Amino acid sequence: MRPNLLEALRAMTEGELYAALYQDPLTGVLNRRAFEEVQPGAIALIDLDSLKWVNDTHGHRAGDQSLQELAGRLVLAFGPDAVFRIAGDEFVVVNGNREELADRLEEVRTGFPGFSFGTGATLCEADRDLRHDKAEREKSGHRAARGERPKWDQPK
């Protein structure tokens, strides 16, 4: 390590170090690293629809604001320890009860006019692989676009 980096690390408080390791700097929610240490009962994988279009049409600042707004609404609905940003436009929400999780997400969705998210979101148990769930969510999103499935796909 370079000496100035090492000095900077030594100067960080425990809170600053925690934030650097476990919080997403854009949205302030927990990050993928933090999610990997959680043992949730049920999770919802969520992505913000049309983020590329927002970025291309209105600029990245507008896209960033969209991500921040969604993150804030999820935190209000679920609490700061239950929301994780795991990739660019993808979030995970943790809750012990799948039905409650689906109900709260629907409340967030209806209170977020002008944006859509979670089409094809998958509610699943904690031991499921996120890569598998992403592929399933993408497939169910394509089915939803064709009107072939309900809003929430809840595998058993």
The model's pLDDT over 77-124, given as tens digits with 9 standing for 90+, comes to 999 999 999 999 999 998 878 888 888 988 998 888 777 776 434 555
What are the distances in angstroms from CA 2 to CA 5, 8, 10, 18, 20? 5, 10, 13, 21, 18
pLDDT digits (tens, 9 = 90+) for 25-50: 999 999 999 998 887 577 888 888 88
Both tokens of residue 100? 């409650």
Q: What pLDDT shows up at residue 17?
A: 84
Both tokens of residue 127? 């031991």
pLDDT digits (tens, 9 = 90+) for 50-73: 889 999 999 999 999 999 999 999
End-to-end CA separation in angstroms for the chain = 48
Q: What pLDDT shows up at residue 26?
A: 97
pLDDT digits (tens, 9 = 90+) for 127-149: 555 655 555 555 555 444 444 43
Whether 2 has a pLDDT exceeding 80, the answer reads: no
Q: What pLDDT shows up at residue 125?
A: 52
Is it true that domain 3-145 has CATH number 1.10.3720.10? no
Question: What is the DSSP code string of 32-68?
Answer: HHHHTT---SEEEEEEBTTHHHHHHHH-HHHHHHHHH
pTM: 0.74
Nearest CA among 127, 9, 24, 142 for reference residue 75: 24
Q: What pLDDT shows up at residue 120?
A: 39
Q: Are 92 and 109 in contact (CB under 8 A)?
A: no
- Return the higher-pLDDT residue of 16 and 85: 85
